[in-house]
Amino acid sequence: MADSIIVGGGPAGLSAAICLARYNRRVLVFDTGHGRSTHHQVNRNYLGFPGGIATVELRELATRQLSDYPAAQVLRHAVTGAEGDAERGFTVHTQSQEFRARTLILATGVLDHFPHFPGWERYVGESMFWCIACDGYENRGREILVVGHTDAAAAEAMQMHSLSDRVRLLTNSHRNEISEVLCRRLRAAGIPVLHDQIHTVEGDKGQLRTVVTRGGERLSLDALFSIQGATPETRLAAQLGVLLAPSGYIQVDTEQKTSVEAVYAAGDVTSLHSHQVSAAVHEGSQAASAANYFLYPPELKSA
């Protein structure tokens, strides 16, 4: 039995693993090599990396850092199920094996709803983004297409307007759920709204140049910001009976504790907002410290 199983090998999961390994705990990290930190983007707002660092490189560096601790291991298995409790310990299932641990940290992230067109994955992180805090600054003054059909997309377009006066919004949906209040604000800001859907794109080497809509419009652009939402990966949390917030994300306290004792959560799966590498690393460290404290015998805990 391991001391802790961590599901997810992004910044939150790897941060938790390194912290637990430094407490001399036996740690298993399950990482399928998917998720936001496996795209092509460069993270430029994480402290200590002048000029930024590619998120895939950050993962590689963190994995190499973790390899210094022999009690920690990264397994390239997909976790298909989880069960257990604080008294008996937890069991996670893969397609071929079962693994057990006394504590469990869920760093499962989210599934982004990007526009899908042939070869769309190549553009993610290069010229197709999801976060103004991460990539807005590098696109100031450029031709920006915000994609989404809700007030959240309209608000993002308004925020983008502080960085560039060349912003347009494409709903990319058969529905347009932007409220009249936001529509008025968009009109006042001079941000055109096109109620149409993406048919195909033109671009190369990760750089989008033109979006062609189903209605035949050709929209030139330098960057696309997808505000079509994301789904938190909470399947394992549901299997364990972990309470979710009204937003659908895992509900945690300030120590990353969930409603189930000895189960913790960290990273994008815990919050509708603040999806930053810095937040994920912090939450992973918090979850590790809380899990480590749980693992101490009673005589080592304060009253």
Kind of pairing between the strands at 89-93 and 98-106: antiparallel
Q: Where is the domain boundary, 199, 226, 253? A: 226
Instruction: Choose the final residue of a domain: 182, 208, 226.
Output: 226
Regarding whether 192 and 136 lie in a shared domain, the answer is yes
- Rounded CA-CA distance 169/148 in Å is 7
Read off the tokens for 156: 């993002």
Question: Could you give the number of structural domains in the chain?
Answer: 2
The percent of residues in the chain predicted with pLDDT above 70, rounded, is: 100
Q: Are residues 216 and 242 in the same domain?
A: no
The reply to whether 196 and 259 lie within a common domain is no
For residue 67, the model assigns a pLDDT of 97
- Domain closes at, from 195, 226, 257: 226
Cα distances (Å, whole numbers) of residue 166 to 14, 158, 161, 246: 39, 11, 7, 36
pLDDT value of residue 303: 64
Chain-wide mean pLDDT for the chain?
96
* Per-residue pLDDT band at 272 (split at 50, 70, 90): confident
Q: What is the pLDDT of residues 42-93, one digit of tens each?
A: 999 999 999 999 999 999 999 999 999 999 999 999 999 999 999 999 999 9
* Verdict on whether the full-model pTM lies above 0.85: yes
Whether residue 31 sits in one domain with residue 106: yes
Calculate mean pLDDT across residues 132-146.
Answer: 96
User: What residue numbers bound the domain in which 164 lies?
Assistant: 114-226
Clarify whether residues 40 and 185 are in a common domain.
no
Helix pair 11-22, 55-66: axis angle to 10 deg: 20
Same domain, 26 and 107: yes
Do residues 241 and 175 share a domain?
no
Q: What is the tens place of the pLDDT at every residue in 172-206?
A: 999 999 999 999 999 999 999 999 999 999 999 99
Shared domain check, 96 and 21? yes
